[in-house]
Structure 1
């Protein structure tokens, strides 16, 4: 086992487990901020640049977590996290220390990990990174956290080295993952719609770069709609004023017919159209698209 590195001037130390692109960005941000940083990855050979900058390579996950009071984990999912943390040696080394898990998975997996951590005397915070790798260490980074507020407050000085904003969403450990899943839902369904639109435009002789400025215009009208629709769903108003569901279904049908006329798979829009038609068939045709939220939750 390697010896522990000498303390940095600010006295802070962190271990980063997981050195994919995001994990390397996290470790680099800690190093830039002068935080003593120990690194470990399941696949060797990804720490070279970080070590050259002053990171301390650990020979094992056990050695890595023992090197710092705080371990930040960034792996592909909680199966990967469990395979590293829930070994006897690592679990024993983590006792009395804190894990901040920035790996993506479901809220239930976060709750299960919290139970495991509590049983073994390990402090646990769950988290989510809501911005891409280049944002890490800059003011544009966005991090969400959930778990015990005193624990978050204790480690906030180190987490702040990652830049951007750090929002503590509450003590219920699953809240960060719940936000993450919902926001990923927005992102990927939006991206699915956009690549489908590019394919449809190209089939009609419109190049992607010609369409892009107008696509950005569509994007610009969404933020106020997000707020308006959230309030509508929360109040149960489901207002169809200006754009009832019957009208929405008609425009969706146009997209389906145009796409399939060019031999383009329209399954994404067909799914949206089917939800809208189902809601209309339930007697909500005069209401707005927000009524679909309530219908989706029906058993």
Structure 2
């Protein structure tokens, strides 16, 4: 399928904004760029982008306006200071991939659509170095019509995942994914500290033991997710009561001079769930403590 070439304005040329603009150029789109520090556009201009002298100039040059700046709170003032109003935005599509909250996304959508533009909020699940690679994907929410009309452009960045009309869905799922990532990193750091405390090689432990183990454990996540959706937390493996009967991880960690603070909050939730009479359940039931139905 041939991708229709379109004009795109990119506002913000930090590491991510520059990577997105470069992906658009590689895909053959007409790209106009703007950045507070004009010098950051030099490399992109050399590769075929056009540099705009103002936000208003950039916006009027693109049928799609891609916003990728550091602070969500700066977007509104930036548009106001640069005099970008209905005349400039009417009929355009604003794709905002600035990190923010669901509330901020909904407020921005209301503001942008009030000025006559369609709105998509995006969550980039990638680092700049892997933009346009098979490993990257971008979450989108907002105007379905705009997403479907311009998916060919959006796919230049990464695999595009549309979540729904509510603009807040992309940032919410972005934060949910990051939560899972940081939880994994927390477990890794505790495991690494334990191995190091015994004089072991953390790298060897990670590559030969931890990665395969975590991969195997990740295979059970869909079943846990189904339990959370259904509210049925029955377990055929190790019930919570058995898992909390002896705080081996905490005790050994302290004995080895390793702080249990990365693991302790989860163990405390497990103990609470057992105390509440749910000792026969599995780990999935802990969700009821952090988000009661």
TM-score by length of 2: 0.91
**C-alpha root-mean-square deviation of aligned residues, in Å?**
2.0
Q: Indicate which of 120, 124, 133 corresponds to 1:125.
A: 120
Count of residue correspondences: 289
CA-CA distance at 1:105 after TM superposition: 1.6
Give the distance between the partners of 2:232 and 2:269, measured in 1 at CA. 19
Q: Indicate which of 27, 30, 33 corresponds to 2:21.
A: 27
Long gaps (5+) in structure 1: 1-8
Give the distance between the partners of 2:80 and 2:270, measured in 1 at CA. 45
Q: Indicate which of 27, 34, 44 corresponds to 1:50.
A: 44
Aligned: 1:179 with 2:187: no
Q: Indicate which of 273, 276, 281 corresponds to 1:279.
A: 273
Q: Look up the match of 2:107.
A: 112
Q: Look up the match of 1:289.
A: 283
CA-CA distance at 1:87 after TM superposition: 4.0
Q: Indicate which of 196, 201, 214 corresponds to 1:202.
A: 196
SS at match of 1:181: helix
SS at match of 2:25: helix
Residue pair 2:136, 2:159 contacting (<8 A) in 1 also: yes
SS at match of 1:144: strand
Q: Look up the match of 1:223.
A: 218
Q: Look up the match of 1:62.
A: 56
Residue pair 2:32, 2:49 contacting (<8 A) in 1 also: yes
Q: Look up the match of 2:33.
A: 39
Deviates more, 1:267-276 or 1:43-52: 43-52
CA-CA distance at 1:126 after TM superposition: 0.9
Long gaps (5+) in structure 2: none
Q: Indicate which of 253, 261, 266 corresponds to 1:267.
A: 261
Q: Residue by residue, what CA displacement relative to the aligned partner does 1:9-51 show, whole Å, maximum 9, x if unpaired?
A: 9541101112121111101100111111111123342222111
Residue pair 2:11, 2:34 contacting (<8 A) in 1 also: yes
Distance 1:225 1:42, change over 3 A: farther
Q: Look up the match of 1:5.
A: none
Distance 1:85 1:198, change over 3 A: farther
4+ residue runs over 6 A deviation: none
Distance 1:256 1:275, change over 3 A: same
Give the distance between the partners of 1:56 and 1:293, measured in 2 at CA. 50
Distance 1:236 1:298, change over 3 A: closer
CA-CA distance at 1:256 after TM superposition: 2.0
Residue pair 2:55, 2:82 contacting (<8 A) in 1 also: no
CA-CA distance at 1:176 after TM superposition: 1.3
Q: Indicate which of 90, 94, 113 corresponds to 1:99.
A: 94
Give the distance between the partners of 1:45 and 1:250, measured in 2 at CA. 61
Distance 1:161 1:189, change over 3 A: same
